[in-house]
C-alpha cells in the first residue's frame, strides 16, 4: 500500500503510538513520519494551529519535511502500528449539493412528475449546515440511528431504527485561515484560506430525512455521524489534479465566477467490492465557488471549518455516489440484491488523483462499519 505516498503527496494526520501523546505525522510510503519537531505547531493533538499559519508557512514546512523524510532525522513508524485520530477540531461543517447528476437523480427519484432540478440549483451552490460535533475519523463504527419514519402509505409516523441507511461519497475542504465577520472570500482567494482536502462519507438515514426535512432541511437523518479521512492532503499536492470546470449555464453571477475542478477519482467499496466509481471532475460547482458563496453574506470562517461537496455522482449509473441512486430509491437492486446498508456492512471510500511527480497520489480513505441500532 505504499503507492501514492511519495514525496509529491505527504499528507498530514494526527497519530499516536502506544503510550505517547497524539501529534502530527506525515505519510511517506508505508510509514508515518513524526514531524512534531519540525514546527512547534506540529507538536499538537490537532492540525488547527499549523493550518492557521497560512500558505507561506504551509509551503515552507512542506519543503522542509520533503527534505527530511527518508533520512534518519525524523522518527518513522509503520503505518499499521499507529493510532490515527480526528485530524482537526471542526469549526462549522457545511455540506453542499454540487453534483448536477446527483441533484438530478434525487429529483427524479423523489419528485418524478416535476423538473428534476429546483429553480435555484444552477444559480448558486445549494448547501446547509451539518453537525460539527459528530464528525468522526475514518474507522469509527457507525451505529444505525433510530428516529421517526413515515412511509407515504403510512398514516402515522413510527419510531425505530432507520430502514434506509445510506452513504454519500463526498470530498471535503478544510479551512486553514479564517475570515472576519462582515468580510467575504472571493473565488480567487481560495488558496489563501483552504489548507487541504479530506475524504467524506456523509452517512444518511433516508427514511428519517424524508419525513423531517420540510421546510428546514436535513437534520437527524444526517447528524448521527459524518466520517472523514484521517489524512489531510494539502492543496499543494493536488496541483496536477486541477482541471477545468464543466460549462456552467447560465453563467454564474459575478461573485461566483471562476474556480476550477479537480480530477479526483473515487471508488465506493462495499464489503470489499467496488460498486461505484464517482468522478469528482464532473462536479458542477467548484470548491472556490462554494467558499465564495458561503461567505458572500459576510459570514465569518474559522480554522477547522469543513465544507463538503455533497454526493459525487457522474452521469453513468456505475458512477453514482449513494446507494439511493445506485438502487434508484431502493427499487432496482445493484451488485446482486443490494439496496440500503445492512448491519455489519463495511463501506470504504477510496480517492486518487494525478500527482505532481507524474504518477498518482492516494488520498486518505474513509472507512466505516454499520453496527446494529441500540435498544
Q: Which residues are catalytic?
A: 102
Per CB under 8 A, the segment of 238-246, 273-281, 301-309, 323-331 that binds a second copy is 301-309
Closer residue to a second copy, CB minimum distance, 27 or 293: 293
Cβ density class 315-340: b for 16+ within 10 Å, e for less: eeeebbbbbbbbbbbbeeebeeebbb
Q: What does the alpha-carbon distance between residue 133 and residue 89 come to, in Å, rounded to a whole number? A: 9
How far from 92 is each of 177, 257, 303, 352, CA to CA, in Å?
Answer: 14, 24, 9, 26
Least separation, in Å, of the C-beta of 344 and a second copy? 17
Q: What does the alpha-carbon distance between residue 247 and residue 269 come to, in Å, rounded to a whole number? A: 30
In what helix (H) or strand (E) does residue 148 lie, and over which residues does it extend? Answer: strand 146-149
How far from 2 is each of 27, 79, 125, 230, CA to CA, in Å?
Answer: 9, 10, 36, 16
Per CB under 8 A, the segment of 210-218, 269-277, 311-319, 345-353 that binds a second copy is 210-218
- Choosing from 18, 56, 216, 247, the residue that interacts with a second copy (CB under 8 A) is 216
Closer residue to a second copy, CB minimum distance, 1 or 251: 251
Cis peptide leading into residue 215 (ω within 30°)? yes
Least separation, in Å, of the C-beta of 20 and a second copy? 25
Closer residue to a second copy, CB minimum distance, 125 or 234: 125
Residue with cell 445492512: 342
User: What are the residues facing 127 on neighbouring strands?
Assistant: 96
Let me know how long the chain is.
Answer: 375
- Which grid coordinates belong to 139? 474507522
Least separation, in Å, of the C-beta of 154 and a second copy? 11
Applying the rule CB under 8 A, the residues between 221 and 240 that interact with a second copy are 221, 223-225
Residue partners of 156: CB distance under 8 A and separation at least 6: 150
**Among candidate residues 186, 174, 146, 140, the one with its CA nearest the CA of residue 162:** 146
Least separation, in Å, of the C-beta of 120 and a second copy? 6
Closer residue to a second copy, CB minimum distance, 122 or 338: 122
Q: What does the alpha-carbon distance between residue 202 and residue 225 come to, in Å, rounded to a whole number? A: 7
Q: Check if the beta carbon of residue 291 is closer than 8 Å to that of residue 307.
A: yes
- Choosing from 68, 299, 317, 359, the residue that interacts with a second copy (CB under 8 A) is 299
Per CB under 8 A, the segment of 53-61, 70-78, 144-152, 271-279 that binds a second copy is 144-152
Q: Is the dihedral of CA 241, 244, 246, 249 positive or negative?
A: positive
Window 302-321: contact mask with a second copy (x via CB under 8 A): x--x----------------
Q: Is the dihedral of CA 245, 251, 252, 258 positive or negative?
A: positive
Closer residue to a second copy, CB minimum distance, 22 or 130: 130
Q: What does the alpha-carbon distance between residue 279 and residue 265 come to, in Å, rounded to a whole number? A: 5
Window 252-291: contact mask with a second copy (x via CB under 8 A): -xxx------------------------------------
- Choosing from 145, 172, 199, 234, the residue that interacts with a second copy (CB under 8 A) is 145
Window 156-185: contact mask with a second copy (x via CB under 8 A): xxxx---------------------xx---
Per CB under 8 A, the segment of 14-22, 55-63, 248-256, 259-267 that binds a second copy is 248-256
Examine residue 148 and tell whether it contacts a second copy (CB under 8 A): yes
User: What are the residues facing 338 on neighbouring strands?
Assistant: 334
Q: What does the alpha-carbon distance between residue 228 and residue 173 come to, in Å, rounded to a whole number? A: 11
Closer residue to a second copy, CB minimum distance, 40 or 182: 182
Least separation, in Å, of the C-beta of 213 and a second copy? 7
Applying the rule CB under 8 A, the residues between 79 and 138 that interact with a second copy are 91-92, 94-95, 97, 118-120, 123-124, 126-134, 136
Binding site for a second copy (CB under 8 A): 91-92, 94-95, 97, 118-120, 123-124, 126-134, 136, 143, 145-148, 150, 156-159, 181-182, 205, 208, 211-221, 223-225, 250, 253-255, 293-294, 296-302, 305, 374
Amino acid at each position: 500500500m505504499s503507492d501514492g505516498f511519495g514525496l509529491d503527496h505527504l499528507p498530514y494526520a494526527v497519530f499516536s503510538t502506544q503510550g505517547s501523546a497524539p501529534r502530527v505525522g506525515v505519510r511517506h510510503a508505508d510509514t508515518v513520519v513524526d514531524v512534531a519537531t519540525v514546527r512547534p505547531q506540529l507538536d499538537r493533538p490537532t492540525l488547527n494551529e499549523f493550518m492557521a499559519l497560512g500558505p507561506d508557512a504551509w509551503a515552507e514546512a512542506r519543503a522542509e519535511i520533503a527534505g527530511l523524510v527518508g533520512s534518519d532525522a525524523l522518527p518513522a513508524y509503520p503505518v499499521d502500528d499507529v493510532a490515527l485520530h480526528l485530524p482537526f477540531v471542526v469549526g462549522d461543517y457545511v455540506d453542499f449539493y454540487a453534483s448536477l447528476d446527483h441533484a438530478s437523480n434525487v429529483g427524479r427519484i423523489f419528485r418524478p412528475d416535476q423538473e428534476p432540478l429546483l429553480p435555484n440549483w444552477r444559480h448558486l451552490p445549494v448547501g446547509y449546515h451539518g453537525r460539527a460535533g459528530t464528525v468522526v475519523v475514518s474507522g469509527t463504527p457507525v451505529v444505525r440511528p433510530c428516529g421517526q419514519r413515515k412511509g407515504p402509505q403510512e398514516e402515522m409516523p413510527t419510531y425505530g431504527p432507520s430502514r434506509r441507511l445510506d452513504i454519500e461519497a463526498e470530498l471535503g475542504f478544510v479551512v486553514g485561515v479564517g475570515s472576519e465577520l462582515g468580510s467575504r472570500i472571493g473565488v480567487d482567494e481560495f488558496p489563501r484560506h483552504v489548507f487541504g482536502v479530506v475524504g467524506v462519507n456523509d452517512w444518511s438515514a433516508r427514511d428519517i430525512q424524508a419525513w423531517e426535512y420540510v421546510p428546514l432541511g436535513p437534520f437527524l437523518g444526517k447528524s448521527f455521524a459524518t466520517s472523514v479521512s484521517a489524512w489531510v492532503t494539502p492543496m499543494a499536492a493536488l496541483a496536477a489534479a486541477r482541471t477545468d470546470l464543466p460549462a456552467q449555464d447560465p453563467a454564474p453571477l459575478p461573485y461566483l465566477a471562476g474556480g476550477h475542478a479537480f480530477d479526483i477519482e473515487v471508488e465506493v467499496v462495499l464489503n470489499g467490492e467496488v460498486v461505484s466509481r464517482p468522478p469528482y471532475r464532473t462536479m458542477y460547482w467548484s470548491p472556490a465557488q462554494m467558499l465564495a458563496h458561503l461567505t458572500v453574506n459576510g459570514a465569518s470562517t474559522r480554522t477547522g471549518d469543513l465544507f463538503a461537496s455533497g454526493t459525487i455522482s457522474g452521469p453513468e449509473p456505475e458512477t453514482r455516489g449513494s446507494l439511493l441512486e445506485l438502487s434508484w430509491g431502493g427499487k432496482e437492486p445493484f451488485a446482486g440484491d443490494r439496496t440500503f446498508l445492512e448491519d455489519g456492512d463495511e463501506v470504504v471510500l477510496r480517492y486518487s488523483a494525478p500527482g505532481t511527480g507524474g504518477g498518482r497520489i492516494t488520498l486518505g480513505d474513509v472507512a466505516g462499519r454499520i453496527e446494529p441500532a441500540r435498544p
